[in-house]
Amino acid sequence: QKAEWAKLVNEQTVSKDGQHVELVANIGTPEDVKGVLENGGEGVGLYRTEFLYMGRTQLPTEEEQFDAYKTVLERMDGKPVVVRTLDIGGDKELPYLNLSKEMNPFLGFRAIRLCLEEQDIFRTQLRALLRASTFGNLKIMFPMIATLGEFRQAKAILLEEKAKLQAEGVAVSETIEIGIMVEIPSTAVMADQFAKEVDFFSIGTNDLIQYTMAADRMNERVSYLYQPYNPAILRLVKMVIDAAHKEGKWAGMCGEMAGDEIAIPILLGLGLDEFSMSATSILQARSQIRQLAKEEIKGTIEQVLNMDTAEEVEQFVREKF
């Protein structure tokens, strides 16, 4: 089987009925790009920039960040690279920021919340990204967006830094897409409004599931509630995809669910445009998608939205696809 998958490295990801979707990879460091290319990734769907900030004693400089982003963009050679701005907090700590301990870190001061408050950190990262933007196909994505206000504020800061750089005579790409992670239920519910203002969505199911089911993604005692196939999750996913398409935007997914073999037929049928997963899952997913007829699935898949349980959904997919 592995040998069969290996033949697909340079193939496009096309369903049996000829519809293209994008299979891209999640990375944490510039070194990870090698694995993406070896496994036939069509781009990077999530560059988790936290790793640049972790395992050290102070913040990375603008120069260090610029080097890392430029390296990734150059190595990806014009293929899309979605870089997520700093998503620290929750399970990802930065001791040198001396943040106070919280009762509920996953519901607390993290990601975009921290960046909008500690703007020096945010602006430094944005400047590094903007400067790197001319070296490839950069898309910038904000994590943990809960309200339109947060998105507007983050985007305004980005545009401010862009204007400053341009005033300094620094070249900045004019075609950078600006999108958000949809990983908080409020944002999925409001996706129709967001879709008018963002360039794309990337659904972060790792967090979206935990927040929708109110089940800590790290807590084994409640892991039975961590249900990617729960119709509640699938309905939210559909809302996000439909909202994006209605405004002519694209919707991807960068949570673990995007590479899951039960989820893939459902997501394909719901119209997901981009699947971002660990590089080692790409060829298997490509092989699976090549055997699925998208239009045919579309006709039956919406049934799962009206099922009662995750188990029922899983059984349906196993029998049908």
Query: Which residues make up the interface to Mg ion (CB under 5 A)?
Result: 183, 204, 207
Q: Note whether 143 and 49 are within 8 A (CB).
A: no
Shortest gap between Cβ of 26 and Mg ion (angstroms)?
11
Shortest gap between Cβ of 87 and Mg ion (angstroms)?
6
Give the nearer residue to Mg ion in terms of CB position, either 52 or 301: 52
Q: Note whether 289 and 13 are within 8 A (CB).
A: yes
Give the nearer residue to Mg ion in terms of CB position, either 187 or 227: 187
Q: Note whether 47 and 82 are within 8 A (CB).
A: yes
Give the nearer residue to ligand PEP in terms of CB position, either 46 or 285: 46
Give the nearer residue to ligand PEP in terms of CB position, either 13 or 210: 210
Count of other CB atoms within 10 angstroms of residue 24: 29
| Closest by Cα among 48, 54, 61, 52 to 120 | 61
Partner whose footprint covers residue 70, from Mg ion, ligand PEP, none (CB < 5 to 8 Å by kind)? none
Partner whose footprint covers residue 48, from Mg ion, ligand PEP, none (CB < 5 to 8 Å by kind)? ligand PEP
- Report angle CA 164, 166, 168 to the nearest 5 degrees: 75
C-alpha to C-alpha distance for 69 and 78, rounded to whole angstroms: 13
Shortest gap between Cβ of 259 and ligand PEP (angstroms)?
11
Q: Note whether 49 and 125 are within 8 A (CB).
A: yes
Q: Which residues bind ligand PEP (CB under 6 A)?
A: 46, 48, 87, 183, 204-207, 254-255
Shortest gap between Cβ of 254 and ligand PEP (angstroms)?
4
Q: Note whether 314 and 264 are within 8 A (CB).
A: no
Give the nearer residue to ligand PEP in terms of CB position, either 8 or 254: 254
| H/E segment holding residue 271 | none
Q: Which residue has the tokens 């190595």?
A: 75
Give the nearer residue to ligand PEP in terms of CB position, either 210 or 284: 210
Partner whose footprint covers residue 150, from Mg ion, ligand PEP, none (CB < 5 to 8 Å by kind)? none
Give the nearer residue to Mg ion in terms of CB position, either 30 or 90: 90
Shortest gap between Cβ of 248 and ligand PEP (angstroms)?
24
Partner whose footprint covers residue 134, from ligand PEP, Mg ion, none (CB < 5 to 8 Å by kind)? none
Shortest gap between Cβ of 168 and Mg ion (angstroms)?
34
Which residues lie closer than 8 Å to 39 by C-beta, 6 or more apart?
9, 25, 279, 280, 282, 283
Q: Is 45 helix (H, G, I), strand (E, B) or coil?
A: strand
Phi, psi of 68 (to 5 degrees): -65, -45
Which residues lie closer than 8 Å to 123 by C-beta, 6 or more apart?
157, 161
Shortest gap between Cβ of 183 and ligand PEP (angstroms)?
5
Partner whose footprint covers residue 13, from ligand PEP, Mg ion, none (CB < 5 to 8 Å by kind)? none
Give the nearer residue to Mg ion in terms of CB position, either 40 or 255: 255
Q: What is the chain's alpha carbon radius of gyration, rounded to the nearest angstrom? A: 19
Partner whose footprint covers residue 260, from ligand PEP, Mg ion, none (CB < 5 to 8 Å by kind)? none
Partner whose footprint covers residue 29, from Mg ion, ligand PEP, none (CB < 5 to 8 Å by kind)? none
Shortest gap between Cβ of 264 and ligand PEP (angstroms)?
16
